[in-house]
Amino acid sequence: MTITSKDNETIKHIKKLKEKKYRDEYKEFIVEGIKMIEEALEEKAKIKSIIICDDCKNQGTIPSNLMYEIAKLDCIYVSEKVFISITDVVNPQGIMAIVEKPDNSEEQINYKENNFLLLDNIQDPGNIGTILRTADSLNIKQIIASKGTADVYNPKVVRSTMGAIFRVKLIEVKDLVKTVKELKKHKIKVYATDLKTEKSIYDVDYSKTAIVIGNESNGVSKEVLEEATDRIKIPMIGKTESLNAAVATSIILYEAFRSTGKIK
């Protein structure tokens, strides 16, 4: 049976998942597109339902192997009119999924890792998505974020991660200062980015370190700066004083991994 009414309860539920409060309440989020669903299946994400457009004119060609896998799941067919009402994509491929959110509670932090990335109130969804992709490219399995950081399960963030969201845990903590203190107890050096410091990212030892990236407008909070082991910045030779948060994260992380011999 194909759902043709926008007032259908399942459709109403999907629309609710566009809001953070409902994603938190139901512990679910939406992924859309052929590649994202392939990634979800490959990483064994808990897919609760697959929604397929039954008559979309611009529907992407779903590979036969993917059709075989999704046939094992709960598939819901909807009309083009209904699918258009629930998609956030300009040129949708006619397929999306409801996925169960993983447990990303504070208790999941693995303090035995050697490299940590902390986000202090990053607001732009695009930055969050790019940061997750950068972390994934370096095989970083967890990112710690302050409570005020943008929701990683925002549909725009999910799309921009290109599948990294299924491999990198973004763990939200209530008190980032407390987490910084805990990292230091585990002998992990905490480097906070700060435009006012004179110390370059090329002047520090990155073995067993945590990098703190601050808010796009205000930088790392005063409380976290005061608790950090040291402060670092990317040296600039032009007139630009600062870089986009995601770009800065990429530069610092790759320098950290290069200087410790993890990449060549």
Residues of the chain within CATH 3.40.1280.10 domain(s) are 106-259
What was the pLDDT predicted at 60? 62
pLDDT in tens, 134-187: 999 999 999 999 998 999 999 989 998 999 999 999 999 999 999 999 999 999
The average confidence (pLDDT) of the chain is 93
pLDDT in tens, 34-48: 999 999 999 999 999
Neighbours of 11 (CB within 10 A): 20
- 57 pLDDT band, cuts 50/70/90, is low
What was the pLDDT predicted at 258? 95
Architecture of domain 106-259: 3-Layer(aba) Sandwich (3.40)
What was the pLDDT predicted at 165? 96
Task: Choose among 102, 85, 97, 100: nearest CA to 36.
Answer: 97
pLDDT, mean of residues 199-211: 96
pLDDT in tens, 227-263: 999 999 999 889 887 889 999 999 999 999 999 989 8
CB 133 within 8 A of CB 159: no
Q: What percent of the chain has pLDDT over 70?
A: 98
Residues of the chain within CATH 3.30.1330.30 domain(s) are 2-100
Among the residue ranges 61-70, 83-92, 144-153, 202-211, the one predicted with the least confidence is 61-70
Longest dimension (CA), the chain: 65
* Domain 2-100 sits in CATH 3.30.1330.30: yes
pLDDT above 80: residue 55: no
